Structure 1
Amino acid sequence: MTTTSPLNEPELQRAKDLLDQMSVTQKLGQMHQVNGAGGVVTEQLAHDVRMGNVGSVINEVDAEVIAQLQSIAVNESPHGIPLLIGRDVIHGFKTVFPLPIGLASTWCDETIERSARLSAIEASAVGINWTFSPMIDVSRDPRWGRIAESFGEDPLLNARMGAAMVRGYQTEDPSQTTAIAACAKHFAAYGASESGRDYNTTNVSEHELRHVYLPPFKAACEAGVLSVMTSFSDLNGVPVSGNEWLLTDVLRHEWRFNGVVVSDWGSVQQLTVHGVAENDKAAAEQAINAGVEIEMVSGTFINHAEALLHSGVITIEKLDAAVLNILAMKIRLGLFEQHYLQGATSPYNSEEHTKEAYEAAVKSCVLLKNNGTSLPIACDQRIALLGPLADDGYEQLGTWVFDGDVSISQTVLDGFRQRRVEVNYLPVFASTRDHDNSRIPLACDAAAAADAVVLCLGEEAILSGEAHCRAELDLPGAQEELIRAVSRTLRGRNVPIILVVLAGRPLALECIEPFVDAILYAWHPGSMAGPAIADLVLGERTPSGKLPVSFVRKVGQIPLYYGQKPTGRPVTHDNYVHMDQFPMRAEQTSLGMAASHIDTHFTPMYPFGYGLSYTQFEYRNLQLSSHEVSATERLDVTVEVVNCGKIDADEVVQLYIRDKVSSVSRPVRELKGYQRISIPAGQSRLVSFSLSRADLGFYNQRSQYVVETGTFTLWIGGDSTCDLSAEFNWISQ
């Protein structure tokens, strides 16, 4: 079911009437997006808007400038068509929520939708009506900088959270003043860029596309997303901004998408750099014929499309279809009725918004390790708070926060002080990349005088995000040296060392994990990072986040994700052999012979779906409505989840399946459902799932979606390695 629908008949007629009145040049103006002038209305920009040569503006956030531009468009341009005003509102506007990869760690669709709703309220207050979010690229390479913007490695998690963001941005009525258009990006398979490098080539079979990378975009379309953005990359040799199969055959014809397709920044012109277009004119031809309708910034459409039309290589029908979609989007957004601001007041920094940012931050933090009773720390303990990220209101916001207000950030140091905890704070380093170890002895002295040590380490915001890809995943600078030094200082003493990691990607923690007693992975948690982390460390709140992506032990394991194929020789605990176990001069085929690396364990450091709590949960009484399910039935699954501890807590219940025998190889496990639930101490909850025929299907060798009869295994538990299982048979009717 969609949250938006095609135009009704009067609205459609309105769009068609407008289209009939427009010249070719004015139509191309609607397909032309320009970059803002940085808080001013230049003579050139005003002229272009007045002449109808611009349909949308990106990166203008000054409310008065936006109002002036909209006034020119509505009152002075030939047909009074208002502008689309675009901005990257990725995980907040002024109030910043956790990074998307952090939001994904909440496993809470309601939190995702609420963060997008409040972001839209803040952004729309200055006149923004279009955001280039959500990014729903399935991401399985933590070296890729843009994994920070993603919802992780799983198609279902990306699909559900992407749809939740669409609902939050657009609401059920996109024409209301606080709604903004969402944009699903980057279509498609951008997360599969070779070597985890941005803008790089992607080679993905159609089989993998349909099972992994396309489902989140299909879900966004079904949720009524108003726009889709093309990927920078080429896909199997064809750059997406010129890929007719993807943009027209799949998106338009197969999925019946009725929104707008926009290129990424300059990606149409970059068809010439890819080497598939001889010049800008040829690039415009390819992109328009492929199905791109708004060109972001580079201007090949406005400069060359009229000549292409006269030469017959593009058709007026193609242009008209594109412009009709753009006009329809503006009508759906209600821009003709609410086209510019009249004294709007920005709602950010309200108690409601900061409270929601705090709740999202609490839910997003993942407890990866907790030896004994290392956490929580009692409020009367003296804490040595060490690290450059403990009191940096900017870096905790993370990547893609052009408009985030640092003045409302509350740091970890702020959080502890607000709770009146005795804190000795030392940043130790100037930044996370600092190699100067001269202040490490002072940090060790502070640790020696404390009852507990909290290390706030990780990577700065600039080290993740677009174009900020890394070949190594260790803690940069001298941070690891600090951890080891503090560990040596406290050896033999009952002083817990708590590592709080603030980062934009999953880091490889194997080499430093033995030197700390607890690890709280906080990602970049946003404006309210400090109170959230302090409350988790002090036990005022209980950690409940779960990993949306597997954490590798070593970079060489990449890609490592839970839903891998079994292969013909799967590695198991029984057949795995580490190279240190090889006897000298062993025969080549005498050991191992399984799909693994011989110099590290085959498992991840921390698996997908993993996250500890301050309590323990037990799963009991797994029940299936039937063990023989026909094509017309649904399979109902119930399980009892018990909170065995003394603390009220949240748990994320996860359901996985495996098709044991099928005509194409299927993953060893697939996530098919999840629920975030609250359970009081000592009590239990009965959790139910329902699986339909569609949940059990896959694309066969002919790219047809099928559900084959056979046996399935089903697991329910707290992460992707859960072992409570049952089997059922899918039978023909």
Structure 2
Amino acid sequence: MSEHLYNKYVKNMTLEEKIAQLLQLAAPFYDEPGDDSEITGPMEELGIGNDTKRAAGSVLGIAGAEKMMAVQKEHLASNRLGIPLLFMADIVHGFKTIFPIPLAIGCSWNPELAELSAEIAAREAAVSGLHVTFAPMVDLVRDGRWGRVMESTGEDTYLNSVFAKAFVQGFQGDDLENDMTRVAACVKHFAAYGLAEGGRDYNTVDLSERQLREYYLPAYKAAVDAGVEMVMTSFNIVDGIPATGNRRLMRGLLRDEWGFDGVVISDWAAIKEMIAHGAAEDDKEAAFKAIYSGVDIDMMTTSYVKHLPELVKEGLVDEALIDEAVLRILKLKEKLGLFENPMRGADPELEKKIVYSDEHRQVSRKLAEKSSVLLKNEGVLPLQANQRVALIGPFADSGDILGWWSWQGSKETAVKLGASMQVLSASPDHVVIAEGSGIHTISESQKAEAIKAAADADVIVLAVGEASEMSGEGGSRSDIRLPQAQLELIRVMKELGKPLAVVLFNGRPLDLHGVYDVADAVLEAWFPGSEGGAALADLLYGKVNPSGRLSMSFPYSVGQIPVYYNAYNTGRPKPEEETDNRYISQYIDIPNEPLLPFGFGLSYTTFAYEGLSLSSEVMAADRPLEVKVTVTNTGNMAGTETVQLYIRDISGEVVRPVKELKDFRQVGLAPGESKEVVFRIEETQLRYHHSDLSFTSDPGRFTVYVGASSREVQKAGFRLA
């Protein structure tokens, strides 16, 4: 392990200096650089002083080149061995230029554009003094009640893995040491945080190891294989043990099995939280379990600082474990070039030119266009420039379109929908704007204002949804419908008898009762980012043809949750045709199927699939299959179709899902144009985890499905010899 780093630093450090490298403190500790006399509130709360602050190894949440440089300079002036600080932050979907939330990016099915968004986020963060981003979040999610679904790219293992790799490559690039425009990525939350029971944040997770490996681990593994530098532990338990103190998970699987040799960091105060979990009697036991499990950095507690010295003295912790952790941290600092250039890419003058530049904002706009999903359209969209439009709703003129984890983003400068629509209409007077309601309240005066605005309109566009704080961390909801005030606004507008389109701003799949069944058109915008208003106006007026496809199913009712496309069939599946049979796997009051399935999305044009064929009816490990299908644009507008390939293993040693996404292609087609889309199926794509956890395939029959969504498919069959 990096002998030169050991000889130069670790060998010459006191035990206290080593342990201080394992401490991460938040920005408030550094609010008064150079002030030796004042112990700030957070320092008093944690019970540490300036000496510990100076010796800490990393900082969370400082941004701005000048501030970072001042803190680093002060730190180095008093750090005995001249070991620089690492500066980290949650740059989840953009730094100052905010991109759509990750769930929306997943709906783009465009990993190249996702990678570019991470590259731009890294560029802005690096010039502002940051070295590490706590992203990507690759947790698999099947429960829309969980607020952090907005951070994930959805419900599918394969699609999440594709995006995990893209984000890591975008953040880190190919030469982290010499490319000062990149930052180290930290994949989170390891592991299975997205399975929080009841959709309640920080809650219990309980699943078999086979399910963990089959569905929840692959996206983390994709990030590790892509060279991610850091891994963050999750808040939840895994097999009854908090992840932060789970030696089998962190050392056994992550380090020994997967070969990860980077830095592991706890989530905020997660080491100390082992006490509340019931996995540690006190701070001392929590520190022991975390270091023993391979957690290198303690984020925002003093568990390590206060208790590792005595644990070493008592012989309960081998100092070699601490040396390993320190070396991993120093290796990352070396890889980032911080020993030679502790200020790295921080540049106050360049920061002014790069951050929130027009070039970056245009990419945000493009990604917002690609991420929005047209859910319904009965001849209302696209709007015509000469139409009189009433734009009504709490998001008609709102800058709250960035979503959670837009730390440096500005709601004030976010491009709003109303102004953008007025630019594209024949005259600004053709778009009349009214609030109509608040997020949670509606008054008679607001109703009257909305009715007046709609009086002369040819079409009504309602901009409704969740406020950004209604999703994100700590944003779990049991009722995932729109707030009642907005449902009332929709009802009032529907009674006017005019064409009605709804634009949704939200951080999760919603129960759309009172929306989907009422509106003539529904456009899912998610939280679209800094240029969201401009992107949505382009979509509404047909300057851009919608191409987004859902990366997470929309439930018919919250009672179905968790609902996802790749479920098991059960021994008593519900047939497609109507039946009076009570004794099948079904609800007696709602459908089994989600309202809108994974992979679904409409366009202003139409596409036809024909000629699905396989190169052979039998495949073997050394004889892959080719799958071909011809896709034709049968409409009057150029568009992009996402052609999706699913496979079902008909009979496995362990039962297999009804469908599993294995590949996809995006094809752009002019009106009347056809293209042949070719997929290649290899035996490796048919493997899964068996009951003994071996990862192999079974000989036998398989079905191939190709189509526009997980529900709308053509099929063919083959055998694996």
Fold similarity call, TM over 0.5: yes
Do 2:490 and 2:515's aligned partners in 1 also have CA atoms closer than 8 Å? yes
Between 1:233-242 and 1:539-548, the stretch displaced more is 233-242
Q: Could you say what secondary structure the match of 2:145 adopts?
A: coil
CA positional deviation for 1:342? 4.9
**Pairs within 5 Å for 1:528-539:** 528-539=531-542
1:382 aligned residue = 388
1:143 CA drift (Å): 0.4
Q: Which among 653, 658, 671 is matched to residue 661 of structure 2?
A: 671
Corresponding residue SS for 1:454? strand
Q: Is contact 1:387–1:456 with CA below 8 Å preserved after alignment?
A: yes
Alignment of 1:256-267 (within 5 A): 256-267=259-270
Query: Residues 608 and 576 of structure 1: is their aligned pair in 2 closer, same or farther, counting only changes over 3 Å?
Result: farther
CA separation of 1:40/1:423 partners in 2, compared to 1, >3 Å: closer, same or farther? Answer: farther
Closer, same or farther in 2 for the Cα pair 1:342/1:449, shift >3 Å? closer
1:428 and 2:436 are equivalent in the alignment: yes
* Residue 253 (str. 1) matches residue 256 (str. 2): yes
In 1, the alpha carbon distance for the partners of 2:3 and 2:403 equals 42
Equivalent in the alignment of 2:587: 597
Moved more, 515-524 or 80-89: 80-89
Provide Cα deviations, 1:43-89, integer angstroms capped at 9, x if missing partner. Answer: 36898578862000001113222112222344542222221101111
Alpha-carbon distance, 1:428 to partner: 1.5
Matches within 5 A, 1:244-643: 244-340=247-343, 341-346=346-351, 347-371=354-378, 373-393=379-399, 395-420=400-425, 421=427, 422-429=430-437, 431-490=438-497, 495-574=498-577, 591-643=581-633
Distance 1:77 1:351, change over 3 A: same
Q: Once the two structures are superposed, what CA deviation does each residue of 1:213-267 show, in whole Å capped at 9, x if it has no partner?
A: 1010000000000001111111231111111111111101111011111000000
TM-superposed deviation, 1:441: 3.0
CA distance in 2, matches of 1:349, 1:463: 26
Quote the residue 2:166 is aligned against: 164
Deviation at 1:418, TM superposition (A): 2.1
Q: Give the one of 223, 226, 245 matched to 1:223.
A: 226
Q: CA deviation at 1:704?
A: 1.3
Q: Which residue of 1 aligns with 2:190?
A: 187
Distance 2:290 2:531 in 1: 42
Q: Report how many residues are paired.
A: 702
After TM superposition, give the deviation of residue 718 of structure 1 in Å.
Answer: 0.9
CA 1:405–1:254 in structure 2 vs 1: closer, same or farther (change >3 Å)?
same
Q: Deviations over 1:514-566 (max 9, x none)?
A: 22100000001011111111111111110000000000011101011000011
Aligned-partner Cα distance in 2 for 1:316–1:576: 68
Measure, in 1, the Cα distance between the counterparts of 2:3 and 2:157: 34
Distance verdict in 2 for CA 1:17–1:626, change over 3 Å: farther
Using the TM superposition, give the Cα deviation of residue 148 of structure 1 relative to its aligned residue in structure 2, in angstroms.
Answer: 0.8
Asked whether the equivalents of residues 576 and 596 of structure 1 are also in contact (C-alpha less than 8 Å), the reply is no
1:726 corresponding residue in structure 2: 716
Match of residue 3 from structure 1: none
Q: Distance in 2 between matches of 1:304 and 1:328?
A: 25
1:83 aligns with 2:85: yes
The two structures have a TM-score, normalised by structure 1, of 0.93
Q: For the residues of structure 2 that align with 1:474 and 1:407, how far apart are their CA atoms?
A: 27
- Is residue 111 of structure 2 the alignment partner of residue 103 of structure 1? no
- Counterpart selection for 1:129 from 121, 128, 131: 131
How far apart in 2 are the matches of 1:707 and 1:12? 43
Unaligned runs of 5+ residues in structure 2 are none
Mapped partners of 1:452, 1:39: distance in 2: 52
Task: Look up the SS of the partner of 1:598 in the other structure.
Answer: coil
Equivalent residue, structure 1, for 2:25: 34
Rounded to whole Å, the distance in 2 between the matches of 1:324 and 1:576 is 65
Mean alpha-carbon deviation: is it higher for 606-615 or for 669-678?
669-678
Name the amino acid aligned to 1:669: K
Backbone CA RMSD of aligned residues: 1.8
210-219 or 670-679, which deviates more: 670-679
Cα offset, 1:445, TM superposition: 3.0
Could you say which residue in structure 2 is the equivalent of 1:212?
Answer: 215
SS at match of 2:95: coil
| Equivalent residue letter for 2:205 | T
Cα distance in 2 for partners of 1:576, 1:549 equals 29
| CA distance, structure 1, for counterparts of residue 625 and residue 219 of structure 2 | 24
8 Å CA contact retained: 1:15, 1:328: no
Distance between the aligned counterparts of 2:444 and 2:132, measured in 1? 46
Whole-Å Cα distance in 1 between the matches of residues 245 and 676 of structure 2? 50
The amino acid across from 2:359 in the alignment is E
Partner amino acid for 2:403?
G
- Supply the AA of the counterpart residue of 2:458: D
Q: Are residues 40 and 157 of structure 1, via their aligned partners in 2, closer, same or farther at CA, if it must alter by over 3 Å?
A: farther
Q: Distance in 1 between matches of 2:121 and 2:673?
A: 36
Structure 2 contact 127–348 (Cα < 8 Å) conserved: no
- Whether contact under 8 Å (2:65, 2:347) holds in the other structure is no
Aligned to 1:581: none
Per-residue CA deviations over 1:153-196 (Å, capped at 9, x if unaligned) read: 11111111111111111111112111111111111111100110
Mapped to 1, the partners of 2:32 and 2:64 lie a distance apart of: 8
Residue 590 of structure 2 aligns to a residue whose secondary structure is coil
Identity across aligned pairs (percent)?
39
Tell me the amino acid that sits aligned with residue 382 of structure 2.
Answer: P
Quick one: distance in 2 between partners of 1:643 and 1:338?
54
Q: Which amino acid aligns with 1:238?
A: I
Q: Which residue of the other structure, out of 15, 20, 25, is the alignment partner of 2:16?
A: 25
| Cα distance per residue 1:334-360 (max 9 Å; x no partner) | 222332135442212212111101000
Question: 1:436-490 CA deviation, whole Å, 9 max, x = no partner?
Answer: 3542133123223101110000110010000111010111141111111111111
2:433 is matched by which residue type in structure 1?
A: Y
Per-residue deviation at 1:315? 1.2
Go from structure 1 to structure 2 and tell me whether the alpha carbon gap of 1:576 and 1:163 turns closer, same or farther (over 3 Å shift): farther
Cα gap change, 1:360 to 1:15, in 2 (>3 Å): farther
How far the C-alpha of 1:632 sits from its partner, in A, is 2.3
Query: In the aligned structure 2, how far is the partner of 1:261 from the partner of 1:241?
Result: 9
1:645 alignment partner, one of 622, 635, 638:
635
CA distance in 1, matches of 2:717, 2:678: 17
- Aligned with 2:10: secondary structure? helix
Preserved CA contact (<8 Å) 1:94 1:403: yes
Cα 1:539–1:16 shift into 2, 3 Å: farther
Cα gap change, 1:381 to 1:233, in 2 (>3 Å): same
In the TM superposition, what is the alpha-carbon distance from 1:22 to its structure 2 partner?
2.0
Cα separation, 1, equivalents of 2:649 and 2:298? 43
2:154 paired with 1:148: no
Residues in 1 aligned to 2:588 and 2:487: alpha-carbon distance in whole angstroms: 25
Say if 1:669 and 1:147 are closer, same or farther in 2 by CA, change over 3 A: same
1:586 matched residue in structure 2: none
- Find the residue that maps to 2:361 and give its secondary structure: helix
Summarize the Cα distance change of 1:331–1:571 in structure 2 as closer, same or farther, 3 Å threshold. same
Q: CA deviation at 1:12?
A: 5.7
Partners of 1:414 and 1:40 lie apart in 2 by 41
Task: Determine the C-alpha separation between the residues in 2 that align with 1:221 and 1:671.
Answer: 21
Q: Structure 1: 5+ residue runs without aligned partners?
A: 1-6, 578-590
Deviation at 1:711, TM superposition (A): 1.2
